[in-house]
Amino acid sequence: MIEKAKNILNKKHLLITGKSETERRKFINDLIIGVNFEVFRFPSNMKLFDEYYDFIKKEKLYEPWYDAKSYNGNQILDFHWDWISENNSLIIIEEFGQMEEGWRIELLRIYLNEIENRKKGEKKIHLIISQETENGLTEKLAKVIDIRENERRTEKQVVQQNLEIINI
């Protein structure tokens, strides 16, 4: 199951569900052994967007294109979205289902749009999230995902083709 998940991770983001929080964490630990990505593991059980924001500041997951004495929150987030689009890294957010609903969906929308709009061979961000159950996440994302003009797939199909749910 781990090897299959590694292969999927090269193409899609992963949502790990099922069993206990400890077993999901062990599955992710086993999954990331030997992956060829720079790994950024967010603190488990984040509830507030501020916790996400504090982590990106602490780990410098943004690269300003100009020098300033300080940057405001919106600038840091803009730099972070640029960083997401330009990096070949693995982001891990465990027990993501506990985060504020609005920001949780917005963050996933950004990550999904990024992988959906990549051309073959371009660098891309890889994302592993875990939560107890799928809990309607696919439907919620289908309502907010950006799709291309003349897209033949439905919004739900776009989500499903970019986010693989692995129930362990």
The helix (H) or strand (E) run that includes residue 40 is strand 38-41
pLDDT the model gives residue 36: 87
The residues with which 164 forms a beta bridge, in sequence order, are 14
Task: Assess whether pLDDT exceeds 90 at residue 47.
Answer: yes
Where is average pLDDT lowest: 6-10, 36-40, 118-122, 136-140?
A: 118-122
> What are the domain boundaries of the chain?
2-48+89-167
Give the whole-number percent of the chain exceeding pLDDT 70: 99
Side-chain-side CA neighbours of residue 111 (13 Å) = 25
CATH of domain 2-48+89-167: 3.40.50
Name the average pLDDT for the chain. 92
pLDDT band with cut points at 50, 70 and 90 for residue 30? very high
**Which of the listed ranges 38-47, 67-76, 116-125 does the model predict with the highest average pLDDT?**
38-47
Q: Closest by alpha carbon to 167, among 123, 139, 132?
A: 132
The residue-averaged pLDDT of 120-124 equals 75
Structure tokens at 47: 């509830």
The residue-averaged pLDDT of 100-117 equals 90
